[in-house]
Structure 1
Amino acid sequence: MIEFHLDARSGVAPYRQLVQQVHRALHLGVLAEGDRLPTVKDVAAQVAVNPNTVLKAYRELEYEGLVAPRPGVGTFVTRTLDDTAHPEYEALRRELDDWLVRARAAGLADESVEALVLTALRAKAAGRPGTPDGAVR
C-alpha cells in the first residue's frame, strides 16, 4: 500500500505531488495492476489536504489510464509503469552501473550524481541540444 507525503516547500502543487508519488510507485513496482489506492478521505486525512485535492490527483491518474474508479468500491490500478520488461532494460542497467562506478571513482558524491542525472533529464525534456549523438554529457 502506498503512503503519501507532501512537501509544502517543494513549490509543486499538492495534487501534482500525489500524482508523482503514484507514478514513482508504479515505476518501482510498489503498486501493481489491480491494487486499490487509499480512499480519497484517507489520503486527505493523512496529508492534511482538502479531499478535492486528492480527487483531482486521482482524476488525472484516471485520465492517464493508470487507475479506474469502481463506484462504492474504490480506485484501482489498471496498469503499471514498470519498465523492467523493456528489451533494452538489462543492457541499459549494466551501462548505468558501469557509469556509476566511473562517477564514484572520479570522486562524485551521490548528491552530485543525482544532480547530474536530473540536469541531463531536464535538458532532454526541454529539448536543449546535447552532443552530436543527442546525448547530454
Structure 2
Amino acid sequence: MTEKQPSILFRLDPRSGIAPYRQLVDQVRRAVETGRLRGGDQLPSVREVVGQVTINPNTVHRAYRELENRGLAEGRLGLGTFVTENPDVHATEAGNVELIRQLQLWAKRARAAGLLDDDMLELLRQILNRDERVRS
C-alpha cells in the first residue's frame, strides 16, 4: 500500500511577524495561483497539518474558514476541505502572479544590496503608510 502524498506541504516562519493562520492561507493562495493546486484538489486534513507544522488545530480551522470565505476552498461534510472549482475566483488570484514575481525579484535585489528581511519589511511598511496618507 502506498502512502498518499499531501497536496501541499505547509511551512511556518515564526519570525515573519505574520499570523500562522495567515501564512497557511497565503501558501494555499500561492499554490492556486501557480497551478500547484487546482479545483477539486483536497487540502490536508487538520490533523495532517498539525502533524506537519506543530500548530494548534483551531489555527488550521481558522485558515480553512478564511479560504472558504474567500471562495478558494469548500468544506465537504465527512470528506474534507477542497480547492473550489470556481474559475472566476482563480482568475482573480492568478492575476497576482506577475505582481508576486516582481516582488520576488525586488526582494532578491534588495538582499543582494545587503538589506535584511526586517529592513525590507520596514521599507514596505513606510511605503504603504506614505501611500495611505496620500489617499486620505
- Check whether TM > 0.5: yes
Which structure 1 residue ranges, 5 or more long, are not aligned? Answer: 101-107, 130-137
Per-residue CA deviations over 1:20-49 (Å, capped at 9, x if unaligned) read 111111111111111110111100111001
Give the letter for the 1:59 counterpart. R
2:94 corresponds to 1:82: yes
Overall identity of the aligned pairs, in %: 48
**Shift in Å at residue 83 of structure 1?**
2.8
Per-residue CA deviations over 1:56-111 (Å, capped at 9, x if unaligned) read 00001101111100011110111422239xxxx9xx89xx7xxx8xxxxxxx9933
- Aligned-residue Cα RMSD (Å) equals 3.5
**Shift in Å at residue 123 of structure 1?**
3.4
2:37 corresponds to 1:31: yes
Write the distance in 1 (CA, Å) between the matches of 2:94 and 2:107.
28
- The match for 2:109 is 111
TM-score normalised over the length of structure 1: 0.64
Q: Higher Cα Rg: structure 1 or 2?
A: 1
Which structure 2 residue ranges, 5 or more long, are not aligned? Answer: 1-6, 113-119
Secondary structure of the residue that 2:94 maps to in structure 1? coil
More helix by share: 2
Give the letter for the 1:83 counterpart. G
Q: How many residue pairs are counted as aligned between the two chains?
A: 110
